[in-house]
Homo-oligomer: A and B are copies of this chain.
């Protein structure tokens, strides 16, 4: 049986965006699949006793610099959105509505949403912006609108986020493979090594 990487990501997370741009390279190298799992960090901040990174004095300012530096080091286009952090619940719902359990569709749409935000400077907490992205990818605007507002999709996202909380996800990006957790864009090297060696 092929291994899979459970990849949890919050849209209001620059390091999550950076990971979304690179995790497929790691997966392809080791011929493993990725389960794309949009996640809401708000669900765990209270539980873990943390808060959005940029809300910390001193550490927040440093982190902003580190985000840009990391993006430049890895040649990933990056610009902080003007409004940050933001509510990403509709972005998550859109991915789930449009892609269902199809991971390649989840990947495609998630990357498109991330790029709209961190490359395109668009406000993806704005539903109209999300619907623009959905349209670009061939979805009907009004169907998408109805879809992300439906009780079924709301419940499905809630369920997926709860599963993430149970899996002890507490940050973004967050990877789980073989039951081993890896947190942060800067742990892609651990993930890579883990897949290469089967653990060390």
Q: Report the contact-size class of chain A (Cβ under 8 Å from the partner).
A: 20 to 34
Alpha-carbon gap, A184 to B185, bound state (A): 13
Cross-interface CB contact of A58 among B69, B170, B190, cutoff 8 Å: B170
A181-B62 contact, Cβ under 8 Å, with A73-B190, A186-B186, A190-B73: yes
Q: Chain B residues near A58 (CB, 8 Å)?
A: 44, 47-48, 168, 170
Per the bound structure, the CA–CA distance linking A170 and B56 in Å amounts to 11
Per-residue contact bits, chain A 24-52, to B (CB 8 Å; 1 contact, 0 not): 00000000000000000000100111110
**Quick one: given A66-B183, A181-B65, are A200 and B72 in contact (CB under 8 Å)?**
yes
How near does chain B come to A61, taking the closest CB pair, in angstroms?
A: 8
Q: Given A73-B190, A73-B200, A193-B73, is A56 in contact with B62 using a C-beta cutoff of 8 Å? A: no
Given A69-B190, A190-B69: A183 and B49 interface contact (C-beta under 8 Å): no
| Residue A171 CB within 8 A of the other chain | yes
Q: Assess whether A57 is interfacial by the CB under 8 Å rule.
A: yes
Q: Cβ of A66: which chain B residues have Cβ within 8 Å of it?
A: 183, 187
Partner among B65, B73, B171 whose Cβ is within 8 Å of the Cβ of A59: B171
Looking across the interface, which residue of chain B has its beta carbon closest to that of A70? B190
Q: Which of chain B's residues have a CB closer than 8 A to the CB of A61?
A: 168
Taking A49-B56, A59-B171, A62-B168 as given, write out 16 further A-B residue pairs in contact, using a Cβ cutoff of 8 Å, ordered by the A residue number.
A44-B58, A48-B58, A49-B57, A50-B56, A58-B168, A58-B170, A61-B168, A62-B183, A65-B181, A66-B183, A66-B187, A69-B190, A72-B200, A184-B186, A186-B186, A186-B187
The 5 lowest CB-CB distance pairs between A and B, nearest first, are: A186-B186, A58-B170, A59-B170, A48-B58, A48-B59
